[in-house]
Structure 1
Amino acid sequence: MPIETTEVLVVGAGQAGIAMSEHLHSHGIRHIVLERGRTAERWRSCRWDSLVANGPAWHDRFPGLDFAENGPDDFVPKDKVADYLHAYAEKIHAPIRCGVTVTQVRRNAGQAGFTVDTSDGPMTANYVVAATGPFQVPVIPPIVPAEPGIMQIHSADYKNPAQLPEGNVLVIGSGSSGAQIAEELMRSGRKVYLAVGPHDRPPRSYRGRDFVWWLGVLNKWDAEATPGVEHTTIAVSGAGGGHTVDFRRLAADGMTLLGRAEACHDGVMTFAPDLAENLARGDANYLSLLDEADAYVARNGLALPEEPSARDLLPDPACVREPILRMDLKKAGITSIIWATGFGVDYGWLQVDALDAHGRPRHQRGVSSEPGVYFLGLPWQTRRGSSFIWGVWHDAGYVADHIAKQRGYLTYEPAPQGLR
């Protein structure tokens, strides 16, 4: 039986793989997209039930399609985002094959291209695009040993408050996921402890414009990655119609804030004495964006309403003034720990020279160190906006252009000497 051959093999049919397919199609490049689950599977099964997109519908979308059932300023529920991506894939006739797992990619010996082992059998491709995204392997730091009576899960496995046993909850991680899950649990009637690490805290909106608009006009979405910046934790929420994440407000409503989680011995957990500092740095980030926004309004003479109350900060609550540095988990009634501590990557199937010693992609704007292999969907792949649906669409255009240029070089044939 002949081995199936394609010019470009795209691995993953989330927002990155779909965007890649559209740009490859515009270049007339034959390709196949393989997906081990369903189209946009991670939006469907690896998010909590109430999650909504962190950007409004007018902004966080592909250029060629609006959300059919949501207004432009809505924060779209996760299942509707998945439906949107599926509809877009159908609109562009993306050649997606679901339920197919890629197990290995290796360079062909002595000839161009790659051999790809899949659950449907081997294939060959001239180019391979790893579009599996950043949310591959949930990371749980080895801090808390397995404790009888304490459930530990990653935010990727959290669905809703009813999933957890009765009792108090410790959420570790203060990015968008941790802040939103902690608030949902508190609103459901749980006593919640939240470990807050260093973070950025932009306003959800200011002077009648969402923060995504401000980052656009202030040219911050196009900021390029610098060492360390790609790991910045950002606390922002689209839940409940969108609101600014205010950790002091959460404390005033009954949540107990803690510093960064450090260690746990004999059921006693210790926390760094950095809570006040982390909140102050988040405030500085917040106020800095307001300053830049005010300057932009004045410079351009915009008639946007002033919002002086946006600069009013609540006083530090007791848990900040007198931080808890040691906590006996059982005495505190903790029966669940949710780790909102991010993800690692797993490119074990990519048996080519495209990864560093830690298994992370070695690339420049998605073009890897292994000729013919590309990455797509990485945070800060080319710019700050790379993590968004619209951002990955632009990144995919760059990768597709690079593939098209390489094809052009490889198809070049010099004219016969007599015709030069």
Structure 2
Amino acid sequence: MPTEQIDTLVVGAGQAGVALSEHLTRSGVSHIVLEKDRIAERWRTGRWDSLAANGPAWHDRFPNMEFPVTGPDGFAPKDEVATYFETYAQRFNAPIRCGVAVTRVTRLSGRAGFLVETSAGLMEAQRVVAATGPFQRPVIPALIPEREGLQQLHSSAYYNPAQLADGAVLVVGSGSSGVQIAEEIALAGRRVYLSVGPHDRPPRSYRGRDFVWWLGVLGKWDAAPKARGTEHVTIAVSGARGGETIDFRNLAAKGITLVGRTEACTDGVLRFASDLAATIARGDANYLTLLDEADAYVARNGLDLPEQPDARRFLPDPDCVRDPLRQLDLAAAEVGTVIWATGYALDFSWLQVDAFDEAGLPMHQRGVAPERGIYFLGLPWLSGRGSSFIWGVWQDARHIAEHIVIQRSYLDYQPQVARDLLVTDSLPGKTT
């Protein structure tokens, strides 16, 4: 069978791959999108059942289509988000092939392009875009040895409280996933411990505006990419139950026992850092800083937005913060499940090209790799703070598509044949 020839190959049909396919289609660039599962599979099976988008529907979407069910100020449930991307791709007949995994990409020798090995055979592509996003390999720290009777799972494998083993539950991680999962389990009547680490804690809304609006008018979406290796910021915010501000004191009031960062485990006894109160205080400072900036913006621009003094009032620190647990005997506390909401690691082992640094991190400028013809899309802080959001991915995809169009124009360039000297000499005003 002859090797299939492709101009541009996009790997991954999540929000990044669908967005790029739209821009490439509009630009007339021939391309194929390969997806090992289904369109937006992470939204379908890599999230818990009750998850809703963390951004309101008016903001966190592609600009050319609204969510069909959830209203502008609502937070779309995960299944609607997955269907949204599938429907969006159908609108422009995106050339997506599902059920095809890319296993290896290498540069061709002596000619332009890349050899692409897939589960459906070989391909050759002039350009390859890694649009697989940041959620590639779940990270579970090697802290707690496997033992009978203790269930350990990553947040990506958590779906609902009914799947958990009997007993109390320890959730490790205080970002959006950790706090939402811990609260859901506590509301189901289970005993829950939540291990809290450093985080940003924005208000869900303030003075009648969602925090995404405040980030926009305050220019925070335009923040430059962070230093390599420090791009990820744990953000405690939630779109659950119509959207709510995360306050760890409120979680404690719902029966959740807060503990510090999980540091070590010896003979079934976990040890926690002594920084719980300081960590929560730093999150409060982050929260209050945004409120201060918002108030200053309102005053400076003469906006008629309602004041919200209650937003600055916190519950008293609970006992678990004033006198935190420093260790927890898992068996004595009858902990049956540990859920690791500890994020993901990148896995580009299939992409064997010169586009990574010594630590294995992608090298790029706004998604354009130094290895010509290689691109990255869907990574946090690819071009700025908004790169992790649906609308930000769409903007990043437009930039990459424009770069591809420009590069193709260079390759298509053919110099004009020199004009006949006699014709040139005969031009009006020409003297010899």
TM (normalized to structure 2)? 0.96
Structure 2 letter corresponding to 1:297: V
In structure 1, distance between residues paired with 2:134 and 2:226 = 18
CA contact (8 A) 2:173 2:340 kept: yes
Once the two structures are TM-superposed, the CA of residue 270 in structure 1 deviates from its matched residue by 0.3
Moved more, 139-148 or 12-21: 139-148
Instruction: Tell me: CA distance 1:232–1:155, structure 2 relative to 1, closer, same or farther (3 Å).
Output: same
In structure 1, distance between residues paired with 2:4 and 2:230 = 41
SS of aligned partner of 2:295: helix
In structure 2, distance between residues paired with 1:2 and 1:229 = 44
Once the two structures are TM-superposed, the CA of residue 229 in structure 1 deviates from its matched residue by 4.9
In structure 1, distance between residues paired with 2:66 and 2:308 = 31
SS of aligned partner of 1:367: coil
Q: After superposition, give the CA deviation of every residue in 1:335-374 in whole Å (9 maximum; x if it has no partner).
A: 1000000000111111111122232211111011211000
Correspondence list, 1:25-64, <5 A: 25-64=25-64
In structure 2, distance between residues paired with 1:48 and 1:114 = 37
Once the two structures are TM-superposed, the CA of residue 326 in structure 1 deviates from its matched residue by 1.2
Correspondence list, 1:127-146, <5 A: 127-146=127-146
Paired position in structure 1 for 2:71: 71
CA contact (8 A) 1:198 1:282 kept: yes
In structure 2, distance between residues paired with 1:185 and 1:325 = 23
Paired position in structure 2 for 1:188: 188
SS of aligned partner of 1:417: coil
CA contact (8 A) 1:268 1:326 kept: yes
SS of aligned partner of 1:183: helix
In structure 1, distance between residues paired with 2:183 and 2:230 = 26
Structure 2 letter corresponding to 1:383: G
Once the two structures are TM-superposed, the CA of residue 232 in structure 1 deviates from its matched residue by 1.4
Paired position in structure 2 for 1:411: 412
SS of aligned partner of 1:351: coil
Correspondence list, 1:227-246, <5 A: 227=227, 229-246=230-247
In structure 1, distance between residues paired with 2:125 and 2:339 = 41
Paired position in structure 2 for 1:342: 343
In structure 2, distance between residues paired with 1:310 and 1:139 = 35
Once the two structures are TM-superposed, the CA of residue 417 in structure 1 deviates from its matched residue by 3.4
Once the two structures are TM-superposed, the CA of residue 39 in structure 1 deviates from its matched residue by 0.6
Q: After superposition, give the CA deviation of every residue in 1:179-200 in whole Å (9 maximum; x if it has no partner).
A: 0000000000011000000000
Structure 1 letter corresponding to 2:33: V
- Structure 2: runs of 5 or more not aligned: 425-432
In structure 2, distance between residues paired with 1:50 and 1:360 = 32
In structure 1, distance between residues paired with 2:371 and 2:155 = 33
Correspondence list, 1:17-416, <5 A: 17-227=17-227, 229-416=230-417
In structure 2, distance between residues paired with 1:159 and 1:367 = 36
State percent identity of aligned pairs.
65
Structure 1 letter corresponding to 2:108: N
CA contact (8 A) 2:104 2:117 kept: yes
Q: After superposition, give the CA deviation of every residue in 1:303-351 in whole Å (9 maximum; x if it has no partner).
A: 1100001000111111111111111111111110000000001111111
Which protein has the larger Cα radius of gyration, Structure 1 or Structure 2?
A: 2
In structure 1, distance between residues paired with 2:161 and 2:224 = 38
SS of aligned partner of 2:231: helix
SS of aligned partner of 1:363: coil
Structure 1 letter corresponding to 2:364: H
Structure 2 letter corresponding to 1:255: I
In structure 1, distance between residues paired with 2:171 and 2:370 = 38
CA contact (8 A) 1:147 1:267 kept: no
Once the two structures are TM-superposed, the CA of residue 239 in structure 1 deviates from its matched residue by 0.2
In structure 2, distance between residues paired with 1:356 and 1:185 = 40
CA contact (8 A) 2:128 2:374 kept: yes
Once the two structures are TM-superposed, the CA of residue 149 in structure 1 deviates from its matched residue by 1.2
CA contact (8 A) 1:24 1:30 kept: yes
Structure 2 letter corresponding to 1:393: W
Q: After superposition, give the CA deviation of every residue in 1:116-175 in whole Å (9 maximum; x if it has no partner).
A: 111111111110000000000000111111122110000000000000011100000000
SS of aligned partner of 2:202: coil
Paired position in structure 1 for 2:430: none
Structure 2 letter corresponding to 1:177: S
Q: RMSD of the alignment, in Å?
A: 1.1
Matched length: 420
Paired position in structure 1 for 2:429: none
In structure 2, distance between residues paired with 1:207 and 1:147 = 50
In structure 2, distance between residues paired with 1:50 and 1:316 = 29
SS of aligned partner of 2:317: coil
Q: After superposition, give the CA deviation of every residue in 1:370-409 in whole Å (9 maximum; x if it has no partner).
A: 1100000001110101011100000001111111111111
Once the two structures are TM-superposed, the CA of residue 416 in structure 1 deviates from its matched residue by 2.4
In structure 1, distance between residues paired with 2:52 and 2:250 = 21
Q: After superposition, give the CA deviation of every residue in 1:251-310 in whole Å (9 maximum; x if it has no partner).
A: 122110000000001001000001011000000000000001101111111111000010
- Structure 1: runs of 5 or more not aligned: none
TM (normalized to structure 1)? 0.98
In structure 1, distance between residues paired with 2:304 and 2:160 = 42
CA contact (8 A) 1:161 1:185 kept: yes
In structure 2, distance between residues paired with 1:114 and 1:221 = 35
In structure 1, distance between residues paired with 2:33 and 2:21 = 7
Once the two structures are TM-superposed, the CA of residue 414 in structure 1 deviates from its matched residue by 1.8
CA contact (8 A) 2:226 2:381 kept: no
